[in-house]
Structure 1
Amino acid sequence: MRATAHRLTLKSLTLAVAALSATGAWADEVQVAVAANFTAPIQAIAKDFEKDTGHKLVASFGATGQFYTQIKNGAPFDVFLAADDTTPAKLESENEIVKGSRFTYAVGTLALWSAKDGYVDDKGQVLKDNTYAHLSIANPKAAPYGLAATQVLDKLGLTDATQPKIVEGQSIAQAYQFVQTGNAELGFVALSQVFKDGKLTGGSAWVVPANLHEPIKQDAVILNKGKDNAAAKALMEYLKGPKAAAVIKSFGYQL
């Protein structure tokens, strides 16, 4: 009788362990530093990632340059999704990442955007007309999209003319916010901030031709802190998969 009870207890325990594993109760949590332009896509990806793997994704958003400083100062991130490829490459050269983990997860698109319908034409002529009072861009020293914006202005010969009108945000999220709130009539933002499923989510925009700035290749890396984190490895694989790719493309990125 006792032997039978003992066997039943072991069987129950085995079933309980299996159930816990299946529901992700023993899953890991991954702390991710995410470039501000990728806020909406990663939020959408996180839902599927957590549902499909059982792991939990905790994201922090900001400028790539600021994250670099935080990582160098010991910030507790497992994975870094940057807005460029140079910052992750620099971290790699400084032995701050897991070797072989770096890859390009998206190629960004720059847009000149206004919250007003019809304000920005599809050729960007409004920029050359110079009738606006304020032009928002992200800090080019901290945000790759801000650097791309300065390259566009330089190529178009508008650097001097626009200099007095520039309102600078610390990240592309803040640059977007300046335009959204009306503090700037227009600004350079990530297309992903104003685009979803093939159309603008509001306002008017000029999608900046890629030949006017250096490619915005966005690289992902596993940082040393995430070396033994199963969720970190799972996320990197997930970002290379078809579900994540569909989400990334829907926000106007190239792969």
Structure 2
Amino acid sequence: MKRFKQTLLTAAIIFSTTNAWADTVYVAVASNFSKPLQAIAETFKAASGHELKISAGATGKLYAQIANGAPFEVFLSADSKTPKKLVEEKLAEADSQFTYAFGKLVLWSSTEGYVDDKGEVLSKGTFKHLAIANPKTAPYGEAGMAVMEKLGLTAAITPKLVTGENITQTFDFVSTGNAELGFVALSQVQQDGKLKSGSAWIVPAEMYQPMAQDAVLLTKGKDNAAAQALLEFLKGEEVQTIISSYGYEIPSPPSPALPPQWVKGAMRE
């Protein structure tokens, strides 16, 4: 019943915004979620007429840009602590934060058969380079370091690390062969439940801290009804199907609807 009410609420918001002038929403998104967001942007535009202007990067670097006055209105982070910090610093709206997906880490190589399904290639150490996102700014990089620590391989592998500025650059290192393998987001190498290419080990979730990826309405977007509608749209069944197809887990039960003040703000007369 709650899910039915949520669907009606989302439909009402989209209907109301469709009948108004289309707006633009400036979205900062963690690199791992850039492709899913592009697909969501098309669906959102078809439903509401609103367009997304997307800027992707490492979560830590996007935070720095927001703190320095970047004109973003919505932030889709790769963690939950950064949006919370933005709320605490009055750069994001209280009560607007929610988890839109749980990320999954994968050890991937663009070469067929290179990575085994148990990740034993790490302990063999026959590779020259392993790519990883900067653990200081990218949660997926932090998770990769946690896996190596868990396996007791940090000291042995650290000299072989090639550090990407974000998860997109990390993926590029591996896809171009500059690194034989690397820790990347499952969303980058999987579509509709199938590995796009190469070989991979989906790292067991217990080997790193859960990567709850949270969304938040930034202060610069509080008066943009389209920004508020986007956050509500992310909770709809159609969007959650898109998110799942990229290998993410959906929060269960789904995140609650936005508080009444946001819903009211998203409804246009």
**TM-score, with normalisation over the residues of structure 1?**
0.90
Contact 1:24 1:55 in 2 (8 A): no
Q: 1:140 aligns with which of 132, 135, 141?
A: 135
Q: Work out the CA distance in 2 between the residues paired with 1:47 and 1:229.
A: 19
Q: Work out the CA distance in 2 between the residues paired with 1:193 and 1:58.
A: 21
Structure 1: 5+ residue stretches without partners: 1-20
Deviations 1:58-113 (A, max 9, x none): 11110000000000000000000000001111111111111111000000000000
1:159 maps to 2:134: no
Q: Work out the CA distance in 2 between the residues paired with 1:53 and 1:32.
A: 16
Q: 2:74 aligns with which of 69, 73, 79?
A: 79
Q: Work out the CA distance in 1 between the residues paired with 2:18 and 2:116.
A: 50
Classify the secondary structure of the residue corresponding to 2:226: helix
AA of the residue aligned to 1:91: L
How far did 1:23 drift? 6.9
Match of 2:228 in 1: 233
How far did 1:161 drift? 0.3
Contact 2:17 2:48 in 1 (8 A): no
Q: 1:62 aligns with which of 57, 60, 66?
A: 57
Match of 1:3 in 2: none
Aligned residues: 235
Contact 1:29 1:231 in 2 (8 A): yes
Once the two structures are superposed, the pairs formed by residues 23-42 of structure 1 within 5 Å of their partners are: 26-42=21-37
Q: Work out the CA distance in 2 between the residues paired with 1:25 and 1:118.
A: 53
Once the two structures are superposed, the pairs formed by residues 6-25 of structure 1 within 5 Å of their partners are: none
Distance 1:136 1:22, change over 3 A: closer
Deviations 1:17-59 (A, max 9, x none): xxxx997671111000010000110011110000001111111
Contact 2:18 2:48 in 1 (8 A): no
Contact 1:133 1:185 in 2 (8 A): yes
Q: Work out the CA distance in 1 between the residues paired with 2:238 and 2:95.
A: 23
Q: Work out the CA distance in 2 between the residues paired with 1:199 and 1:142.
A: 29
Match of 1:9 in 2: none
Between Structure 1 and Structure 2, whose CA radius of gyration is higher? Answer: 1
Match of 2:145 in 1: 150
Classify the secondary structure of the residue corresponding to 2:44: helix
Deviations 1:89-147 (A, max 9, x none): 11111111111110000000000000001110100011111000000000000100000
Q: Work out the CA distance in 1 between the residues paired with 2:228 and 2:203.
A: 34
**TM-score, with normalisation over the residues of structure 2?**
0.86
Deviations 1:148-194 (A, max 9, x none): 00000000000000011000001000110000010000000000000
Q: Work out the CA distance in 1 between the residues paired with 2:18 and 2:145.
A: 48
1:104 maps to 2:99: yes
Q: What do you get for the CA RMSD once the two structures are aligned?
A: 1.2
